């Protein structure tokens, strides 16, 4: 090949690499983070990491890591406030969590964690984080954690279908750790993801870019999770209101209007009515609909009169619906009484800068389901909500698998396989760096804990965690600290449960603060 052709080829390769770097590793991360708390865990994880990577440490820095167990248990801002009360100091709380992060993942990210210069690592865990149920899934007939082949469990943990994070967040680390196990094809994929951001981030790149476009030019009616203003009466994670809800009028609502979704289940009498009224009862507006779909609401400008603009509008719907009794499109095993659905960024379209913030968990209608229930009422709803008609609900069959695995593990002997082993390696790594590590066996729903909590396996697993963490203030068992009504399911806390745990986490962390 001539020198000129080699020069052209070299120039093309360099240009492609530069363009890839500029678009996917640099420019993309300068975009405002307008995603909601649970809309894209991997994106929010990476965005949080990249944000603090650029900030020099000024205060005592606490790095909280973990799976959705962590995500549903700790609210960083509230924890910062509580720690200020307990210690009298301002602390930085860096919160790096995504759904499905097991100790293996955390170990592969250990150098990234260390680069943030934390003064303390906090890692809440629960049964689901050890992924012990996979031994039973891979071998339904004879599978046991006592005898499972670890190499098969590792390959399963790196499966892109179930664990895309190994390609998105730590591809090079996965390649270097498991190159001799994963084979040539997968090694090539990890290498490509390490070199090219377009391959590594393509899924989240288009999702986030599409979301930004929708916020500015779309109707904001296609979304996974509500990210609008707080509604005093609360909405669901999907943006559904109750029969009555209230909001503050915004100029855009009278200028270009906003949208609500009406479902066919509320058209009981052939029509559906939405009534709006200000709190001084001087302005009223009524809308009537006879078909389902997203409906445009053009607000009466009188709601924005100078004497009214700081007041609230009370909205009431004529009919409600219950997901369990809904048709196939909206069917869910829930008994919430719902009204209409609001747009994704309802109430924020006049000031999109309100969206560019650290995503935080907000209280939703689902968090209020169990308030005031007796233990018996809760348990009945628990089985109805999570373990009923699972053949009709393929997306929740893993819940049954998880329940079965807790009952099976209770009959086994404890064996510190895979994720237990990597937790030990992770803690040892930070010990070598003289970095304190707080391991928390997080609260568990008493209903599911009763299936295996008194077994020898459970007791031995607690002893193991205490041993590898060094005991003392480095390990705490909080598994029985909350009643069942503070749980969504087996291990995810409701908003009230998170609020209750705030002071306990702060007390534990304060012991490490200088």
For 230-260, the pLDDT digits (tens) are 999 999 999 999 999 999 999 999 999 999 9
Higher pLDDT, 108 or 15: 108
Confidence (pTM): 0.93
Distance CA 11, CA 13 (A): 5
Distance CA 257, CA 303 (A): 13
Neighbouring C-beta atoms of residue 257, cutoff 10 Å = 12
For 153-187, the pLDDT digits (tens) are 999 999 988 889 999 999 999 999 999 999 999 99
Give strand ranges (E) for 216-355: 244-247, 258-262, 272-278, 284-289, 293-297, 313-317, 341-342
For 361-388, the pLDDT digits (tens) are 999 999 999 999 999 999 999 999 999 9
What is the 3-state secondary structure of 380-448? HHHHHHHHCCHHHCHHHHHHHHHHHHHHHHCCCCCCCCCHHHHHHHHHHHHHHCCCCEEEEECCCCHHH
Backbone angles phi, psi at 165, to 5 degrees: -65, -25
Q: Which residue has the tokens 């640099």?
A: 26
- CA-closest candidate to residue 489, choices 373, 382, 395: 382
For 397-420, the pLDDT digits (tens) are 889 999 999 999 999 999 999 999
């Amino acid at each position: 090949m001539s020198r000129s052709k080699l020069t052209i080829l070299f120039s093309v390769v360099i240009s492609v690499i530069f363009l890839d770097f500029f678009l996917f590793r640099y420019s993309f991360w300068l975009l405002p983070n307008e995603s909601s708390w649970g809309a894209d865990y991997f994106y929010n994880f990476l965005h949080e990491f990249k944000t603090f990577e650029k900030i020099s440490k000024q205060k005592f820095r606490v790095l909280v890591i973990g799976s959705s167990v962590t995500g549903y248990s700790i609210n960083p801002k509230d924890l910062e406030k509580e720690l200020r009360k307990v210690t009298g100091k301002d602390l930085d709380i860096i919160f790096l969590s995504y759904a499905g992060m097991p100790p293996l993942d955390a170990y592969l990210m250990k150098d990234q964690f260390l680069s943030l210069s934390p003064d303390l690592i906090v890692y809440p865990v629960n049964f689901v984080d050890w992924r012990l149920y996979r031994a039973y899934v891979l071998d339904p007939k004879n599978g046991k954690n006592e005898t499972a082949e670890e190499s098969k469990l590792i390959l399963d943990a790196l499966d892109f279908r179930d664990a895309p994070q190994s390609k998105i967040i730590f591809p090079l680390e996965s390649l270097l750790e498991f190159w001799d196990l994963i084979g040539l094809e997968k090694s090539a994929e990890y290498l490509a993801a390490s070199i090219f951001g377009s391959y590594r981030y393509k899924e989240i790149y288009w999702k986030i870019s599409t979301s930004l476009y929708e916020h500015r030019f779309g109707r904001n009616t296609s979304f996974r999770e509500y990210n609008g203003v707080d509604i005093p009466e609360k909405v669901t994670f999907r943006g559904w209101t109750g029969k009555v809800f209230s909001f503050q009028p915004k100029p855009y609502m009278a200028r270009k209007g906003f949208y609500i979704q009406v479902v066919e289940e509320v058209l009981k009498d052939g029509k559906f009515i939405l009534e709006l009224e200000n709190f001084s009862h001087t302005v009223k507006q009524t809308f009537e609909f006879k078909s389902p779909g997203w409906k445009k609401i053009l607000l009466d400008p009188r709601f924005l009169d100078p004497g009214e603009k700081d007041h609230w509008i009370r909205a009431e719907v004529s009919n409600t619906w219950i997901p369990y009794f809904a048709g196939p499109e909206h069917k869910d095993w829930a008994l919430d009484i719902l009204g209409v659905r609001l747009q994704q960024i309802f109430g924020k379209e006049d000031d999109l800068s309100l969206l560019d913030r650290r995503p935080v968990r907000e209280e939703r209608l689902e968090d209020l389901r169990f308030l005031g229930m007796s233990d018996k009422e809760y348990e009945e709803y628990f089985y109805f909500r999570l373990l009923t008609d699972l053949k009709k609900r393929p997306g929740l069959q893993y819940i049954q698998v998880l329940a079965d695995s807790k009952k099976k593990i209770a009959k086994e002997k404890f064996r510190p396989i895979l994720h237990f082993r990597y937790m030990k390696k992770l803690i040892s790594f930070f010990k070598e760096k003289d970095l304190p590590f707080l391991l928390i066996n997080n609260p568990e729903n008493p209903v599911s804990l009763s299936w295996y909590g008194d077994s020898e396996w459970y007791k031995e697993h607690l002893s193991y965690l205490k041993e590898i963490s060094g005991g003392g203030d480095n390990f705490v068992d909080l598994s029985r600290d909350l009643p069942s009504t503070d749980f969504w399911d087996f291990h995810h806390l409701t908003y009230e449960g998170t609020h209750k745990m705030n002071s306990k986490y702060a007390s534990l962390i304060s012991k490490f603060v200088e």
